[in-house]
Amino acid sequence: MIRQLYQRLLGPVTLVLLALTIWLGVWVTPPDKVQGNLVRLLYVHPAIAWVALYVSFGTATIASALYLWRRTRSWVADRVAHCAMEVSVVFIILTLITGSIWGRPTWGVWWAWDARLTSTAILGVLALGYLALRRANDDPTLRAKRSAVFAILAAINVPIIHFSVQWWKTLHQGATVFTSNRTLLVHGSMAWTLLISFVGFTLLFFWLLRARYRLEVARERVERATLDAALSQRQREGAL
Amino acid sequence: MPNAEPLDLTPVAPPKSPSRSRWRSMGVLAVLVIAVVALLSQGILHSLNYFETVDQALAHRAKIGTEVIRLEGVVKPGSIERTSKGASFVLSGTEDRQVFVDAHGSPPQLFQADIPVVVVGHFTSATSLDFDGSQIMVKHTATYIAAHPGRVKAPNGTSR
Amino acid sequence: MIRVAWLVARKDLRIEARSRVLLWQVVPFGAMALLLSGLALGPAHAGDSSAGPGLFYLVVLFVALLMINRSQVIESTPGTRASVATLGLDPAGVFLGKALALAIELWVTGLVLLAGTVLVLHTALHGAILALPSVLVTLAGLACAGTLYGALTAGGEGASTLLPVLCLPAFAPLLIAGERSFSAALGHGGLWEWWVIVLVALVAYGGVGILLYGVLEES
């Protein structure tokens, strides 16, 4: 029953939170002392980046690790890894786009080859590589295994991205939320709106993941049915 | 052969993987962790920094020469002058270390006094402290503060 | 593991010695690519030795992708994988053997290309000699990474076109560190720090290969 409730409420709650984020971000929260109204991208870009790097890529990595470990190996884990990685590609691309839109008026450039941006772009290439690798193998077991290994190798990039602003001097700002001394560097209503945006976009990821997973299950069912029909046809032809 | 004993074809369980391979895996993991920690702890990766601060640039002035670099510093209040080519200003480091910058091209929207900027360019000569900039980028901080605190009222009615 | 590595490396090198693909195809391709890159610089920059390290590693990248693909094609010949599985060879040993053979082949090609950068791109000879150890270590790192990623794509559809997509992000730190250490040897920057990065990358890819190659070979 809880599962049904979750499935029914996930979509509406996500939409409400995202609508609330937009309303608060555009009309209620004040402009920033330095950035003025450019700060309103604060309620979009960091949340999307959080989902891209940690939630979606993290889900794909954990599911891949679960698949590789014999005790937890299952097709569910493989499907979750694949679907999460597809959603991750979308969020990584959105991270780079929203970042560029924010960077142009604030930094003065659309793009800079600093450690944070470069490593994020590399993560995008790795995620696309994962999807390309999945299409290269027809054998489901081989495909699942190789993709899982590749996802785990690719995940090495995530802590590099996270710590890049601490390890190196970058044009990209340092952490606002996950600072090393756990101080939140955003104040008042901006902080609350930021939190709501994080929750909203995280739920959006799970909503998209669930939809993609159901699509994948349906696709496999159709594929099996097609194969069964083709085999039956061949058997009938053989019997004649 | 008529009296040969029947072959025993019962499947045999595979041998257990030797514990030696488990020790090897742990050893390899330990070496990996040590190597990465050693790399990071030595601060060796500073060469991947996007820019040199004013302090660093002045400390390595002789080595930099007239090489193109990215120079980072805070724009000194009162030093900005708009020129026909762009703008000139002073970049401050720590303890009164300063570099005069003559930059070409329009500065970005957020360019102002007391803000960190990164300037791409080169020193005008091997010993000069004047910097010829071709591009200005603003490096905004990670702190976000409301511009007009009085407009946002706290739930108890006081202004913040 | 070492015995198996040596066995596999000798097998791969023997195949290479008989087929001579490296000698007649890969090395000429590398030399031609180096020559063309020198031409592409144009008269204004053709004598600029600072471009040497970057162009050297760009050509090394192309050559490495060809050789990694070739290394995996050898494993894909009918019966090879089944033989390896039946013999119960240690996968870590197989990985190290293939990486070692690939590294030796890359070293041979790398030496030819290094000579090419001195002749064609006017890189200083003493700088190239000073850069030789870092070049060898970088190529060994590329061999380890390439063997691992080659196993990921082996036998699949479009393996030869998929390999560059998967390898490039993995090669990036090695290529950057290799190029910077080569430049440092020519007098532009600190040599020691890039050496450390290259060594750590070599250890990292070697270690990960030893741990994960067996998983990839199970099928």
A175 contacts chain B (CB < 8 A): yes
Determine whether the interchain pair B24/C1 forms a contact, defined as Cβ–Cβ distance below 8 Å.
yes
Q: Residue A232 has what pLDDT? A: 92
pLDDT value of residue B12 = 65
What the block records as the tokens of B136 is 């200005």
Q: Which of A45-54, C43-52, C70-79 has the highest mean pLDDT?
A: A45-54
How many separate domains does chain C show? 1
Helix and strand totals (H; E) in chain B: 3, 7
Q: Is the pTM of this model over 0.80?
A: yes
In sequence order, which residues have a C-beta less than 8 Å from that of residue C88 and are 6 or more positions away?
none
C203 touches chain A (CB under 8 A): no
What is the pLDDT at residue C190?
62
DSSP classification of residue B149? G
Chain B residues touching residue A187 (CB < 8 angstroms):
144-146
Chain A, chain C: beta-carbon pairs less than 8 Å apart? 55
Q: Over 50: is that where the pLDDT of B159 sits?
A: no
Chain centroid to Cα A184, Å, comes to 24
**Confidence category of residue C125, pLDDT binned at 50, 70, 90:** confident
Partner chains of B (3+ C-beta pairs under 8 Å): A, C
The residues near A236 (Cβ < 8 Å, ≥ 6 apart) are none
Give percent of chain B with pLDDT exceeding 90: 26
Measured between CB atoms, does B40 come within 8 Å of chain A?
yes
Q: Does residue B4 surpass a pLDDT of 70?
A: no
Nearest residue on chain A to C213, alpha-carbon basis:
A149
pLDDT confidence band for B150 (50 / 70 / 90): low
- Within 158-217 of A, beta carbons closer than 8 Å to C belong to none
What mean pLDDT value characterizes chain C? 83
Residue-level pLDDT at A33: 84
Distance from CA of C23 to the nearest CA of A (A): 31
Taking an 8 Å cut-off on Cβ atoms, the answer to whether A33 and B147 are in contact is: yes
| H helices present in chain A, as ranges | 2-23, 45-50, 57-68, 75-106, 115-135, 140-154, 157-167, 188-239
Instruction: Give the mean model confidence (pLDDT) for residues C130-142.
Output: 90
pLDDT at C57 over 70: yes
CA angle B3/B7/B9 to nearest 5° reads 160
What residue numbers bound the domain in which C39 lies?
2-217
Residue that is written with structure tokens 């090495």 in the block? A156
Would you call B44 and C210 a contact, using CB atoms and an 8 Å cutoff? no
A69/C contact by beta carbon, under 8 A: no
pLDDT of residue C185: 84
Is the pLDDT assigned to residue B122 strictly greater than 80?
yes
Does the distance separating the beta carbons of C200 and B47 come in below 8 Å? Answer: no
Q: Does A189 touch chain B (CB under 8 A)?
A: yes
Check A32 against B147: CB less than 8 A apart: yes
Contacts with B24 from chain C: Cβ below 8 Å: 1, 92, 210
Residue B3 has pLDDT above 60, yes or no: no
| CB-CB under 8 Å, A68 with C215 | yes
Rounded Cα distance, C108 and C104, in Å: 6
Q: Which chains touch A (3 or more CB pairs under 8 A)?
A: B, C
Please check whether residue C208 touches A, CB under 8 A: yes
What are the Cα distances from residue C212, in Å, to A153, B65, C23, C88, C142?
10, 47, 31, 16, 17
Distance from CA of B28 to the nearest CA of C (A): 6
Quickly state the pLDDT bin for B83 (edges 50, 70, 90).
confident
Nearest to C211 among B28, B36, B46 (CB): B28
* pLDDT value for A180: 66
CA distance B18 to chain A (A): 17
Tell me how many residue pairs between chain B and chain C have CB atoms under 8 A apart: 41
Which residue blocks in chain C are alpha helix, DSSP H? 2-19, 21, 27-41, 52-76, 80-87, 91-120, 125-153, 159-185, 191-217
Is residue B71 within a helix (H) or strand (E), and if so which, with residue range?
strand B69-75
Range B106-131 average pLDDT: 89
Which of the residues A160, A171, A183 would you substitute to probe the B interface, choosing the one with the greatest number of B C-beta atoms within 10 Å? A171
Q: Is B36 on the interface with C (CB under 8 A)?
A: yes
State the pLDDT at residue A24.
Answer: 92
Distance CA A30, CA A192 (A): 12
| Contact check, Cβ <8 Å, B144/A42 | yes
Q: Is the pLDDT of residue C64 over 60?
A: yes
Name the phi and psi angles at B13, rounded to 5: -65, 140
Contacts with B45 from chain C: Cβ below 8 Å: 193, 197
Tokens (6 digits) for A143:
């495909």
Per-residue pLDDT at A47:
95
ipTM above 0.85, yes or no: no
In this model, does residue C16 exceed pLDDT 80?
A: yes
Inter-chain contact B39–C200, Cβ cutoff 8 Å? yes
| Cα dihedral across residues B41, B47, B53, B56: positive or negative | positive
Share of chain C above pLDDT 90, in %: 20
Question: Looking at residue A180, what DSSP letter applies?
Answer: T
CA-CA distance, A24 to A17, in Å (whole number)?
10
Higher local confidence (pLDDT), A114 or C78: A114
Mean pLDDT of chain B: 79
- For chain A, 240 residues long, give each residue's pLDDT as a single digit of tens: 777 777 888 999 999 999 999 999 999 888 888 888 888 999 999 999 999 999 999 999 999 999 988 888 999 999 999 999 999 999 999 999 999 999 998 898 899 888 899 889 999 999 999 999 998 888 889 899 999 999 998 998 898 898 888 878 888 988 777 666 667 777 788 888 999 999 999 999 999 999 999 999 999 999 999 999 999 999 888 886
Interface test with C, best of B16, B23, B24, B32 (most C CBs within 10 A): B32
- Specify burial of residue B15 (Cβ count, 10 A radius: 0-12, 13-18, 19+): exposed
Q: Is residue B74 pLDDT above 60, yes or no?
A: yes
Asked if B142 lies within 8 A of A105 by C-beta distance, the reply is no
Q: What per-residue confidence (pLDDT) applies to C46?
A: 57
Instruction: Find the mean pLDDT for residues C29-53.
Output: 76
- What distance in Å separates the CA atoms of residue B66 and residue B128, rounded to the nearest whole number? 9
Angstrom distance (rounded) from CA C73 to CA C210: 20
Residue C90 clears pLDDT 60, i.e. is over it: yes
Q: What is the pLDDT of residue A185?
A: 75
- For residue C206, pLDDT beyond 50: yes
State mean pLDDT over C49-63.
Answer: 86
Q: Which residue has the higher pLDDT, C58 or C158?
A: C58
Quote helix, strand, coil % in chain B, to nearest 5: 25, 30, 45
